[in-house]
Amino acid sequence: MMNLYTFLAQGFPQMGEKPAMILPDGQQISYSTLITRSAQYAQALVNTGAQPGDRVAVQVEKSHEAVALYLGCLRAGTVFLPLNTGYQKSELAYFIGNAQPRVIVCDPGKRETFAEIVSTLNPDPSPAVAGVSVRSAPHTTVLTMDIAGTGSLAEIANTCGADFATFARNPDDLAAILYTSGTTGRSKGAMITHRNLAANAETLVKFWGFTGDDVLLHMLPIYHVHGLFVALHCVLRAGAAMHFEPKFEPSRARALLAKSTVMMGVPTFYTRLLADPNFSKVECTTIRLFVSGSAPLLAESHIEFSARTGQAILERYGMTETGMNTSNPLVGARIAGTVGIPLPGVAVRVREGEITCGANEIGSIEVKGENIFPGYWQMPEKNAEEFTADGFFKTGDMGQWLENGYLQIVGREKDLIITGGLNVYPKELEEKIDALPGVLESAVIGVPHPDFGEAVVAVVVALPAAQIDEATLIATLKADVANFKVPKRVHVVAELPRNAMGKVQKNLLRQQFAALK
Ligand code: AMP
């Protein structure tokens, strides 16, 4: 095994002038430009004093230069640490204090903020981790990169040569640390190795049939596993091209679909396309594959999308810590409301305690394979809890196998509601509520209750012009499910709070509706 960059570069096209990226203004970034620019960034990092294993924290806008920087970090053997552009000072201070990066690259507007954070950093020697250098007195350099790629980092890079001998790395050396978007407690730094990323990239390119002829529509952020690893690695490893857009915008997506062969998105992309009455099959004729993940795609959206475009969205399941674990097939049935079958090389099991669940029995999802991360940064006790004795990672997701061998996700363990000692799986109720007339979507949560421990509460979004009556909805559910599952309250809201990846933020709903009255 080798440096992940070298592995990806093996898939680069022979013709270096072939575009890797097509930018919104039509400018093309060729593979040879990516090679040269990543070499310059790698050398710039080395010149700044970054050594293999050092963390490079990056909070910059999405741009082709940011992609070259990511590749440069890999080439220099450093650990890429992308930060959500929405993070503010107190959050950033935690990440920087925890990860102790050698270099920070940020938007010029955030330079002062990072400089202040760095000035208050206490040296905190980290325990030895494969491929990570430990310094007793870390010294952090703050460099800038704006959306055009210019800034103090580019100034150094511009003086560097076009060749850089990519540093060899061991498979278990860290390639990246991604902080999970933890909704409870502090977010954790998932350590991700060169092996994890190369294995998953190889699997996905084959499983989803990527070739050099593909053109991917890339509208995802690149600080998250979906846009950074899944989308970029499939393109680069296959020597394909991508339309590289700053963000999702439905009319822009519709215009670019006709020039693309694959689109990867979070479910919100698909619901927003469907919300546009002019979106139709005509725009999708060149597309061979629509992929959805990072949050559950409503079965209804899947069905409506098929009806509208003639294409079945391929839903897959993964997470920051694991990369991709299961996927609906490229050839064969893509079943709405399921995340498909285990990917080659990934062992997936569903267990209730130590007992393996049979079909239609809900349990905890555990995964094992070369794609699974070795643990969280500087959390040895946490790591021991997160893996089983036989090396499976406990995802924290609950699910069940259907009779046909497809996996269905039921929700996060922490979203499981225990009311009067009985388990309520939010997904079961959400599906029933979503199917009721006048309902667009719903989220079912547990809120504190003096007698039951937790009480079931439904938060519902109505279809345009529809009215939802709490008493009627509760009465309808009473006729359908056991009494303990019936929501004590139904709140109607204009929309559900979602994060950038389209995940419903149930923690916010739990806060908002904590009082039962
Ligand atoms: P992240 O680490 O931000 O990618 O979040 C990973 C989590 O997103 C998983 O543990 C699941 O709870 C959820 N997730 C990802 N893909 C899906 C999917 N297709 N269906 C349901 N949940 C998903």
Report pLDDT digits (tens) over 128-175. 455 554 444 458 999 999 999 999 999 999 999 999 999 999 999 999
Is the confidence at residue 516, as pLDDT, over 50? yes
Q: What is the pLDDT at residue 500? A: 83
Q: Is the CB of 319 under 6 A from ligand 1?
A: yes
For tokens 């969205």, the residue is: 313
Out of 324, 503, 505, 507, mutate this one to test ligand 1's pocket (max ligand atoms within 8 Å of CB): namely 503
pLDDT higher at 125 or 501: 501
Closest residue by CA, ligand 1 atom 6: 319
Average pLDDT over residues 393-422: 93
Cα 161–Cα 10–Cα 203 angle in degrees, nearest 5:
135
Closest residue by CA, ligand 1 atom 10: 319
pLDDT bin (cut points 50, 70, 90) of residue 123 is low
Cα 246–Cα 251–Cα 253 angle in degrees, nearest 5:
55
Average pLDDT over residues 459-465: 95
For tokens 């400018």, the residue is: 27
Average pLDDT over residues 53-66: 98
Q: Give residue 324 CA to ligand 1 midpoint distance, Å.
A: 10
Strand partners, 216: 242, 262
Average pLDDT over residues 460-486: 93
One-letter amino acid of 263 = M
Q: What is the pLDDT at residue 207? A: 98
Is the confidence at residue 380, as pLDDT, over 90? no
Q: What is the pLDDT at residue 184? A: 52
CA distances from 6 to 73, 176, 237 (A): 12, 16, 10
In the structure encoding, which two tokens stand for residue 256, read together?
A: 């670019």
Average pLDDT over residues 303-314: 97
Q: What is the pLDDT at residue 136? A: 41
Q: Is the CB of 488 under 6 A from ligand 1?
A: no
Average pLDDT over residues 313-332: 98
Q: Give residue 2 CA to ligand 1 midpoint distance, Å.
A: 29
Distance (Å, whole) CA 69 – CA 361: 45
Q: Is the CB of 509 under 6 A from ligand 1?
A: no
Largest CA distance in the chain: 72
Q: What is the atom index within ligand 1 of the atom nearest the CA of 501?
A: 3
Distance (Å, whole) CA 484 – CA 486: 6
Contact predicate 261/289, CB 8 Å: yes
- Three-class DSSP labels, 126-148: CCCCCCCCCCCCCCCEEEECCCC
Distance (Å, whole) CA 31 – CA 154: 19
Out of 183, 317, 372, 412, mutate this one to test ligand 1's pocket (max ligand atoms within 8 Å of CB): namely 317
DSSP E strands, 36-84: 55-59, 79-82
Q: What is the mean pLDDT of the chain?
A: 93
Average pLDDT over residues 437-461: 93
Q: What is the pLDDT at residue 501? A: 85
- Which range among 117-121, 138-142, 284-288, 402-406 shows the weakest confidence by mean pLDDT? 138-142
Report pLDDT digits (tens) over 268-296. 899 999 999 999 999 999 999 999 999 99
pTM for this predicted structure: 0.90
Number of Cβ atoms within 10 Å of the Cβ of 6: 17
Q: Is the CB of 410 under 6 A from ligand 1?
A: no
Closest residue by CA, ligand 1 atom 20: 296
Q: Give residue 484 CA to ligand 1 midpoint distance, Å.
A: 28
Q: What is the atom index within ligand 1 of the atom nearest the CA of 181?
A: 3
Q: What is the pLDDT at residue 320? A: 95
Share of the chain above pLDDT 90, in %: 84
Q: What is the pLDDT at residue 181? A: 67
Cα distance between the two ends of the chain: 59
Average pLDDT over residues 170-192: 86
